[in-house]
Amino acid sequence: MAHFIKLHTLEGAEMLFNLDVVVSIDPLSDGTMVQTRWGGTKVKEDIDKILSLSNPTVDATGHQLLTESEHGSLNDIPY
């Protein structure tokens, strides 16, 4: 399953990055370069922020996260 994080270009546009295709992430004086298989993009977030975004603190699938927030708890989900 793809692992997406939302980052911002230097111009402020939001972008989703699939971490499965990231080759390297390098600091720059004015941001960070995210290099994928197809090219590179400069983003505002620093390496520490990107690392924290890449490691979710909740141990659940996307489906569980969506349904828990919509229904309150897993016991209330109609399967």
| pLDDT confidence of residue 8 | 96
The residue behind tokens 């600091």 is 27
Distance CA 1, CA 13 (A): 25
Cα dihedral: 7, 10, 12, 17 (round 10)? -20
pLDDT in the model for residue 58: 57
What would the two tokens of residue 9 be? 């270009």
Least confident of 2-6, 45-49, 71-75: 71-75
pLDDT at 39: 95
> What's the CA angle centered on 60, arms 58 and 65, to 5 degrees?
90
Q: What is residue 5's DSSP assignment?
A: E
Confidence of residue 36 (pLDDT cuts 50, 70, 90): very high
Residue 70 backbone dihedrals phi, psi, to 5 degrees: -80, -35
Q: What percentage of the chain carries pLDDT values higher than 90?
A: 65
Q: Does residue 61 have a pLDDT over 90?
A: no
